[in-house]
Amino acid sequence: MGTTTLSTTTVVPETASEDTGRRRRRTAAAARLLGLLLACALLALAVVASVAVGAKAIPPGEVLHALLHGRTSVDSAVVWDLRLPRTLLGVAVGAALGLAGVLMQALTRNPLADPGILGVNMGASAAVVVAIALWRSTDPSFCVWFAFAGAGLAAVVVQVLGSRGRSGPAPVRLALAGTAVSAVLSALISVVTLLRPDVFDQFRFWGVGSLAGQPMSVVTKVAPFLGAGALLALGLSGALNSLALGDDTARALGTRVRRTRALGMLAVTLLCGAATAAVGPITFVGLAVPHLARSLTGPDHRWLLPYSMVSGAVLLLGSDLLGRVLARPGEIQAGIVTAFAGAPVFIALVRRRRIAEL
């Protein structure tokens, strides 16, 4: 009897503890799923507002009529040719920058890393400057290919410089290589724009980062690259969780560290290269969105990546919409709004979360 009693008293608490742990995990997962659905609902509202609201006042009924019946008037042409492409770009680019920010912070183990740390944004900007100087064209459909090529070339150079022998790229070496490459490309941009004032006049509108004026052809050209980068990033969620524990622990868990970093950098290049090529360099989104999402999801990349993707799209669309409303009948570029609106939020986040200790 004594043995039976002892066995009962040792088994029951363990079972109750396991049940409690399971219930907590299910509750946490349900809360995260609900939060993600709410974020998607907020994104849907932002999409509707982006199509319906702008520098030109168009009645909601006319907007709906335009979406259902096509280009039948001047207002419907504004909806189809101006607002719809910039809305789709806002969703795609914001999601891409949010994902790229998570990847960069995970790969470099630097909570202050952003997509520009690989020199991707600067590579795209330098390529656009060269294209404008040589061909005197600022057609987005023309410049997008140069921007993407420059972004990819910069990422490859950083990867080569950040690697050493068989050990592969290390986070610190990648950050240093990215900083060096960005400095060189920034100097190149300065030289070209100073020697060619006509190039500067054309480049400055692209360089500030804006969703305005991009035709639907730009959306269709960058969509495959953004889609491939997003799928690749989401597929790395489990490996990124292991990588956060350290390289040795990740290897012990069966994660291929070099392969994960290479695929992660490829995803960053696809996401940032295509996004920068489409709308120019947009700051802050890739830096702060991962921290905002992490405050809701914790460090689990299986939730952090989709949260950052949706949150980045909401932030960029909201910034673009705010820029259209505040400066009527003109507008403020989205890149400027994200910097002004996001910097105080990020400073408060740094003070509260003590990012240096993460």
- Does residue 30 belong to any structural domain of this protein? no
Q: Which tens digit of pLDDT belongs to each residue from 312-344? A: 999 999 999 988 888 777 788 888 888 887 677
pLDDT > 70 fraction of the chain, expressed in percent and rounded: 88
Q: Which tens digit of pLDDT belongs to each residue from 213-241? A: 788 888 888 899 899 999 999 999 989 99
Amino acid at site 68? L
pLDDT surpassing 70 at residue 169: no
How would residue 356 be classed by pLDDT, with cut points 50, 70 and 90?
very low
Question: Do the beta carbons of residue 290 and residue 101 sit within 8 Å?
Answer: yes
pLDDT score at 9: 45
* Domain of residue 48, CATH code: 1.10.3470.10
How would residue 71 be classed by pLDDT, with cut points 50, 70 and 90?
confident
How would residue 346 be classed by pLDDT, with cut points 50, 70 and 90?
low
- Does residue 349 belong to any structural domain of this protein? yes
Q: Which tens digit of pLDDT belongs to each residue from 2-27? A: 444 444 444 445 566 667 777 777 88
- Does residue 326 belong to any structural domain of this protein? yes
For the chain, what is the mean pLDDT? 82
Measured CA to CA, the distance from residue 288 to residue 312 in angstroms comes to: 9
pLDDT score at 2: 46
Q: Of the ranges 33-47, 112-126, 163-177, which one carries the lowest mean pLDDT score? A: 163-177
How would residue 307 be classed by pLDDT, with cut points 50, 70 and 90?
very high
Number of domains in the chain: 1
- Does residue 21 belong to any structural domain of this protein? no
Which residue do the tokens 């806002």 mark? 90
- Does residue 5 belong to any structural domain of this protein? no
pLDDT score at 305: 95
pLDDT score at 114: 77
User: CA-based angle 148:286:214, to the nearest 5?
Assistant: 45
- Does residue 2 belong to any structural domain of this protein? no
User: CA-based angle 281:287:293, to the nearest 5?
Assistant: 130
- Does residue 14 belong to any structural domain of this protein? no
Q: Print burial letters for 45-64: b (CB count within 10 Å at least 16), e (below 16).
A: ebbebbbbbbbeebeeebbe
Question: Do the beta carbons of residue 100 and residue 117 sit within 8 Å?
Answer: no
pLDDT score at 38: 94
Measured CA to CA, the distance from residue 217 to residue 334 in angstroms comes to: 20
Torsion angle of C-alpha atoms 249, 264, 285, 298, degrees rounded to 10: -30
| Full domain range(s) for residue 225 | 36-357
Q: Where are the alpha helices (DSSP H) in the chain?
A: 2-52, 60-69, 74-78, 84-108, 120-135, 140-161, 171-195, 197-207, 216-235, 237-243, 247-252, 257-279, 285-297, 301-326, 334-353
- Does residue 122 belong to any structural domain of this protein? yes
What is the rounded average pLDDT of the residues 181-209? 85
